[in-house]
Amino acid sequence: MLWVLPAPAALAIDEARIAQAFAEQARYLAAEAVSYEHGEGVPRDQAYAARLYCESARLGDAQAMYSLGWMYANGRGIERNDAYANTLFAMASFAGDALAARMQRVTGSYTGAVPDCLHTPAAILQQRWPVDALIARLSAERQAIARLLADLAPQYGIEPALALAIGLTESALNPQALSPKNAMGVMQLIPETAVRFNVSRPYDPEQNIRGGLAYLRWLLAYFEGDIAFVAAGYNAGEGAVDRYRGVPPYRETQAYVDRILRHVGQELHPFDSAVTKPSQMLRGLRLAAQEDQET
């Protein structure tokens, strides 16, 4: 049974409320972090402030990204890490923070290294979780997005568990998320992918999700249902998977693939061979495996 979408006007109101709720929570956490960082009305606890900044940054707050980057750049209450600082300043700069843009010119460009707290918490992603049970455990803001994603997935021949694993890992289901690489929305579509799959409004949750699902459907056909290759392709691009003849040796991509496999709990997924021709790389791998067996 498909979920019946509300009328466009009601949907627009719901989307605005969801975005507002995420933004308000992020601002609240950032304000709490400032208090603990400087000991304003509460005991000074910079390590706890960093945790609050990180959660706020994960929800998209540019000021929190900048503040956490500053803490890493100066070793303020946490171990100094210039790679983390550079990435956080880049994230804040993409989100429109002018101070971060100036800091980035001093500290360097985006490195791709992020602290563990910026990844989706394990408490949200459960290994081999039932979809409905997972959605029920999410916050009200995330539930609406999760339900939309789970209900649209079968239209693209995708199991809801895989779709949710991607959406949660990419953005924690935040429709306003923006990455340092300018990946946007729930499914974190970069501009090139958005254009490729006809997404003109990347911050519209339904359009963004449909674009991400269309890309997943294409990847499933291209890699003939191999979830590891599909996840790696979604994270690093299918070209990188072809070049490396498998999951690329990027730390971020390898961790991403491990996470998706762990939470989906399977290695293969059905695919529609009519969507696109399979990667030639797969044929090469099979021939190599056959030669190994023969020798």
In eight-state DSSP terms, residue 273 is T
Catalytic residue list contains 170:
yes
| CA distance to 33, 43, 46, 77, 79, per residue, from 38 (Å) | 9, 9, 8, 11, 18
Burial of 69 per CB tally in 10 Å (0-12, 13-18, 19+):
buried
Burial letters for 72-88: b for 16+ Cβ neighbours within 10 Å, e otherwise? bbeebebeebebbbbbb
Q: Which amino acid is at 277?
A: K
Q: How many CA atoms lie within 13 A of 141 on its CB side?
A: 19
Which of 40, 170, 206, 238 does the annotation list as catalytic? 170
φ and ψ at residue 68, rounded to 5 degrees: -65, -40
Q: Per the structure block, which two tokens stand in for 190?
A: 């970069």
φ and ψ at residue 133, rounded to 5 degrees: -65, -40
Q: Per the structure block, which two tokens stand in for 255?
A: 């961790």
* Cα 216 from Cα 194, distance rounded (Å): 13
- Catalytic residues, by residue number, are 170
